[in-house]
Structure 1
């Protein structure tokens, strides 16, 4: 797309993240592919209920209505279904009035390899292995977890991000995990003016920032927050890194190890991305949460 038309944000969503497909998935797990295919064909006119990513997708697509002209946000459907069994998914997309026209049905194989081909900035799925494969290929990706969130009625779209191993590399977090808090703090003070290396979500955040710039600040439908366990004096390096990248974060919460869930609820996040399962579990009690299986915290778990 030309600069004249502004930035375009492209997000890939798995069918199991967009819709609630637990019932058919249980048939697949217990009875196999043939029974699953038969079930989907027999129920292809039964509309699927919204899944974990559905509210996020509807808000994303509304941004196009606010800007007018060429669409600035595109959602791509990726599915392990075949086109035949995926007919139910497209029928449900049409029923819910979602402007999703591009899709890849990979017939039982992982669809993550099409994330790059579609030039996507983010991949959201309920399949942890697909997400890990996408991250290993250098793409921003997260596993959407079941949450107890209430759906926000606001049109404003709110993204919240952890810092280390999500927006930034895991180099500093690795020092914390291997050598403790004192070593981490000493390193961040010594390197305060040295920008952090990019993490897997930097380009996604950068694209969001470019999209935000299309709106007057007081009318922007997208709001971002950094929600990190860091505290002073380790905050300075983060601030300087974002400044070096030329990225504005609307809100920054330096929690010094406090539980993130209540703060995310107060922010009103539509989705929160974090690399650590313990933070994701806390967050998912309040907001939609994506686990980013990247960095030292996930290596140690393995």
Structure 2
């Protein structure tokens, strides 16, 4: 939870919130001036929901009886071209009132100033900068599945390099599965170090505690390639952290996409592009460019 507001604060880029692919294509092919003209010409045209739109709507619905969540727009648009974005926010009846428009510069530097607990963007460079500054962040990947506006908010997380550090994943990458399994079994009683999304899951757990468990509108899942016996350290780590996880799927290397669809995830966070790609065709997916899987080969 943001210490500044006592709420869960989520920063989101305009391209993650709305479908801006057409206008972004203008920017990529014709430049900033043509992009600005395009946005002003289409100022009254309402933007369609983007990949993270359903997630944002469900997050804001948690404010039904108390102010638990705030969503802030962090955009590379200028205030002038951003008018279309705010018009679309009003049209879709989203209670988003705070924003930073940076006229092409990276908006990640305002993540800390706003006290954001999570930053979602379509720009990988902005996401990496936010992660380096200590904020949970993910690159929203274009996909065909948009979360439903109704029902529980369901968020799924990978384990290593997302909820946990990448210490164990480094052993796997450098020495193989047998060494990884042996190391995790030997350290089963030692809690794993926290990863970039630990604090975000803690904030969700804090909100969950405000509800009757039978009526809680938030459901979380750990979806990991780990399997027994490497599962024990994960379970004991979450217990040591006093963090609630509603479902835990230990897949032993199986593909994750079908399981995420079965869970009904509104978003899934993973550090590995090989998992994010297939998942993005079924659920909203955020790539977390953190840890050994995202380091360049020497």
Q: TM range, normalised to the smaller chain?
A: over 0.9
Partner residue of 1:155? Answer: 151
Partner residue of 2:43? Answer: 44
- Unpaired stretches in structure 2, ≥5 consecutive residues: none
1:7 touches 1:207 (CA, 8 Å); kept in 2?
no
2:146 touches 2:284 (CA, 8 Å); kept in 1?
no
1:7 touches 1:210 (CA, 8 Å); kept in 2?
no
Partner residue of 1:202? Answer: 198
Q: Which of 104, 107, 111 in structure 1 is aligned with 2:107?
A: 111
Partner residue of 2:84? Answer: 88
CA distance change for structure 1 residues 74 and 194 in 2, over 3 Å: closer, same or farther?
A: same
Partner residue of 2:268? Answer: 272
User: 1:111-154 CA deviation, whole Å, 9 max, x = no partner?
Assistant: 01111111111000111111111111111000111122254353
2:116 aligned with 1:120, yes or no? yes
Structure-2-length-normalised TM-score: 0.96
User: 1:252-283 CA deviation, whole Å, 9 max, x = no partner?
Assistant: 00000000011111110000000000011121
User: 1:86-128 CA deviation, whole Å, 9 max, x = no partner?
Assistant: 1110011001100000000011100011111111110001111
1:166 touches 1:199 (CA, 8 Å); kept in 2?
yes
How many Å separate the matches in 2 of 1:27 and 1:254? 43
CA distance change for structure 1 residues 93 and 153 in 2, over 3 Å: closer, same or farther?
A: closer
SS in 2 for 1:75: strand
Partner residue of 1:132? Answer: 128
Q: Which of 234, 245, 249 in structure 1 is aligned with 2:245?
A: 249
Partner residue of 1:188? Answer: 184
CA deviation after TM superposition for structure 1 residue 34, in Å: 1.1
How many Å separate the matches in 1 of 2:170 and 2:2? 40
1:18 touches 1:51 (CA, 8 Å); kept in 2?
yes
Structure-1-length-normalised TM-score: 0.95
How many Å separate the matches in 2 of 1:121 and 1:184? 31
Partner residue of 2:234? Answer: 238
CA deviation after TM superposition for structure 1 residue 301, in Å: 5.8
How many Å separate the matches in 2 of 1:229 and 1:154? 29
- Unpaired stretches in structure 1, ≥5 consecutive residues: none
CA distance change for structure 1 residues 86 and 2 in 2, over 3 Å: closer, same or farther?
A: closer
Q: Give the RMSD, CA atoms, in angstroms.
A: 1.6
How many Å separate the matches in 2 of 1:291 and 1:109? 22
User: 1:180-235 CA deviation, whole Å, 9 max, x = no partner?
Assistant: 00110110011110100000000000000000001000100000000000001100
How many Å separate the matches in 2 of 1:107 and 1:100? 20
Large movers: runs of 4+ above 4 Å: none
1:8 touches 1:211 (CA, 8 Å); kept in 2?
no
How many Å separate the matches in 1 of 2:166 and 2:9? 25
1:146 touches 1:284 (CA, 8 Å); kept in 2?
yes
SS in 2 for 1:104: strand
How many Å separate the matches in 1 of 2:36 and 2:145? 32
How many Å separate the matches in 1 of 2:114 and 2:292? 29
Tell me which moved more, 146-155 or 220-229.
146-155
Aligned residues: 297
Partner residue of 1:213? Answer: 209
